[in-house]
C-alpha cells in the first residue's frame, strides 16, 4: 500500500470502551493511523478527549456532522479515508442497527457508506449475547463478510461469568491487520470474470443464463481485500462494484473475450467465474422479429472457449476455471481441468437449490491435476471467496517456487 494502514475505530457504549484506549495504542504500535468515532452512549464510558489525545485527531461524535469546509460530507470522506473499520466494543444496539442498515448517527452513517473490511468485537452481558434476535443480526453481518472477534468468556461487568467480554486489544489488532489483507496479494494483478453473457437474437431479445454474478463479485472483493489490483470483467448483472475494484462491463462472450485478451497479460491470477454462453446467433435479426413472421430460425454458432484462449493470453498466470454441473460433478470437472488447460477447477452442483445460482451461499470442490480435491462446505459466497482466494495464493506461490516462469505450462 505504500502508506500506513488507516483504521477508523468505532466505539459504542459499553463498559469495555475503557479498553478502546489501549486498542488505539496497539494499532498505532502496529503502524496504523487511527481515528475514532464514538456514539453518544460511548462518550459516557470513555471520554472523547482521551481518544483525541491518543489518536492525535478529532473524535467524531454522535450526530450527523454535516459537511467540512470544502462542501464534502464528513461521513462520506471519513468512509473513503478508512482502510478498515473496527467496531470495539460493538454493543447489541450497534450490531442490530448495522444489520438493519439503520444510519442515525455519525458512526452508523459512516459504516453504511464504507465498502471495505469491517472487524467487530462484541461486548455485552451473556444474557444479551445469547438472545436469538441478536444471533440473527450477528449472522447477517458475518454473512456480509464482516469479521467477528470474540466475545470471550470471563468475568462480566455484572460480576458474573459468561460469554460477553470484549476480545483483548491485542487480538483485535491482529484481526484488523488480517482483515486489511496482507495475504500475499499485494503487488499482484487479479482478473476475475463474473455473471452471464447475453447473446442478442434481435434488438430486444437475447440468449442468456441464470448466473447472478455474485460468486465472481465476491471473488473480486476478496482479492481486493487481499491487497491485489483487481479488474472485474462483468457481464450484465445488477450488482454494485466491490470496494477498490476496477470494473469493465461487457455484454457478449465475444466482448468478454476481447476484454480478456487486452487485460489478461498483466494478470498473475485469472479467475473465470463467468457463465459464458456457449453459442451465439450466426446472424442477429435487425429490429424486432414480429410474431406474424413465425418462429425465427435460430442459427447458432459456437462461441470461443475463453478459458482455452487464456493459455495464450496469460501463459504465466495461474488460471482458474469454474464448472457448473448438474450430474457427474467430479468426472466432468476432471475432464474440463484437462480440456481447458487450467491449473485449478472449482466445481459446484447447480442441481441443488440451496447453493449456486441466485443463492447467497455456495459449496464447491476444487480439483487440480495432481493431488486430492479440496472440499469447501456450504458458506456465504463472500466467506467462500476469501477461502478460495487463500487457496489460489498458496497455489500461485507453490508454482512460483517449484517452476521457473519460462518452464510453466
CA 261/CA 231 separation, integer angstroms: 13
CB closer to ligand CTP out of 60 and 206? 206
What SS3 class is residue 233? strand
CA 129/CA 148 separation, integer angstroms: 13
141 counts as binding ligand CTP under rule CB under 6 A: no
Residues of this chain, 243-272, that bind ligand CTP according to CB under 6 A: 253, 272
336 counts as binding ligand CTP under rule CB under 6 A: yes
Per-residue CA distances from 14 to 40, 46, 63, 114, 149 (Å)? 11, 9, 18, 23, 16
173 counts as binding ligand CTP under rule CB under 6 A: no
CA 409/CA 405 separation, integer angstroms: 9
The helix, strand and coil proportions of the chain, stated in percent and rounded to the nearest 5, come to 35, 25, 40
Least distance (Å) between residue 139 CB and ligand CTP: 30
Q: Residue 246, exposed/middle/buried by CB under 10 A (0-12, 13-18, 19+)? A: middle
Least distance (Å) between residue 273 CB and ligand CTP: 7
52 counts as binding ligand CTP under rule CB under 6 A: no
CB closer to ligand CTP out of 90 and 306? 306
Active site residues: 209
329 counts as binding ligand CTP under rule CB under 6 A: no
Nearest to 82 by CA among 117, 121, 30, 41: 117
235 counts as binding ligand CTP under rule CB under 6 A: no
199 counts as binding ligand CTP under rule CB under 6 A: no
Nearest to 10 by CA among 93, 131, 126, 134: 93
For ligand CTP, which stretch binds (CB under 6 A), given 128-136, 156-164, 240-248, 301-309? 301-309
CB closer to ligand CTP out of 122 and 257? 257
CB closer to ligand CTP out of 27 and 324? 324
Interface residues with ligand CTP (CB under 6 A)?
Answer: 253, 272, 274, 276, 278, 303, 305-307, 321-324, 336, 340
Amino acid at each position: 500500500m505504500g502508506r500506513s494502514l488507516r483504521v477508523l475505530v468505532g466505539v459504542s457504549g459499553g463498559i469495555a470502551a475503557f479498553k478502546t484506549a489501549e486498542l488505539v495504542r496497539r494499532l498505532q504500535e502496529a503502524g496504523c493511523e487511527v481515528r475514532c468515532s464514538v456514539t453518544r452512549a460511548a462518550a459516557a464510558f470513555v471520554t472523547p478527549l482521551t481518544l483525541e489525545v491518543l489518536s492525535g485527531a478529532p473524535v467524531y461524535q454522535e450526530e450527523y456532522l454535516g459537511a467540512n469546509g470544502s462542501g464534502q460530507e464528513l461521513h462520506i470522506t471519513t468512509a473513503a479515508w478508512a482502510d478498515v473499520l473496527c467496531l470495539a466494543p460493538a454493543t447489541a444496539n450497534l450490531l442490530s442497527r448495522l444489520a438493519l442498515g439503520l444510519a442515525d448517527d455519525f458512526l452508523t452513517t459512516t459504516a453504511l457508506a464504507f465498502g471495505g473490511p469491517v472487524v467487530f468485537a462484541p461486548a455485552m452481558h451473556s444474557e444479551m449475547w445469547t438472545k436469538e434476535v441478536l444471533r440473527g443480526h450477528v449472522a447477517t453481518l458475518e454473512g456480509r463478510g464482516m469479521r467477528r472477534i470474540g466475545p470471550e468468556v470471563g468475568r462480566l461487568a455484572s460480576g458474573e461469568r459468561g460469554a460477553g467480554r470484549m476480545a483483548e486489544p491485542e487480538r483485535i489488532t491482529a484481526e484488523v491487520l488480517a482483515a486489511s489483507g496482507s495475504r500475499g496479494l499485494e503487488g499482484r494483478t487479479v482478473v476475475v470474470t463474473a455473471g452471464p453473457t447475453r447473446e442478442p437474437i434481435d434488438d430486444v431479445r437475447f440468449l442468456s443464463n441464470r448466473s447472478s454474478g455474485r460468486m465472481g463479485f465476491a471473488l473480486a472483493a476478496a482479492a481486493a481485500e487481499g491487497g491485489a489490483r483487481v479488474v472485474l470483467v462483468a457481464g450484465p448483472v445488477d450488482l454494485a462494484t466491490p470496494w477498490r475494484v476496477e470494473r469493465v462491463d461487457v455484454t457478449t462472450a465475444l466482448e468478454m473475450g476481447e476484454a480478456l485478451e487486452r487485460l489478461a497479460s498483466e494478470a498473475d491470477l485469472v479467475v473465470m467465474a463467468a457463465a459464458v454462453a456457449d453459442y451465439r446467433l450466426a446472424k442477429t435479426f435487425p429490429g424486432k422479429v414480429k410474431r406474424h413472421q413465425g418462429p425465427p430460425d435460430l442459427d447458432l454458432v459456437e462461441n470461443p472457449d475463453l478459458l482455452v484462449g487464456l493459455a495464450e493470453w496469460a501463459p504465466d498466470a495461474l488460471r482458474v476455471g469454474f464448472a457448473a454441473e448438474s450430474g457427474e460433478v467430479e468426472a466432468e470437472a476432471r475432464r474440463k481441468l484437462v480440456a481447458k488447460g487450467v491449473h485449478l477447477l472449482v466445481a459446484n452442483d447447480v442441481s441443488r437449490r440451496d447453493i449456486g445460482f441466485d443463492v447467497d451461499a455456495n459449496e464447491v470442490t476444487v480439483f487440480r491435476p495432481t493431488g486430492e480435491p479440496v472440499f469447501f462446505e456450504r458458506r456465504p459466497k463472500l466467506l467462500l471467496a476469501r477461502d478460495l482466494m487463500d487457496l489460489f495464493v498458496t497455489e500461485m506461490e507453490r508454482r512460483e517456487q517449484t517452476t521457473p516462469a519460462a518452464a510453466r505450462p
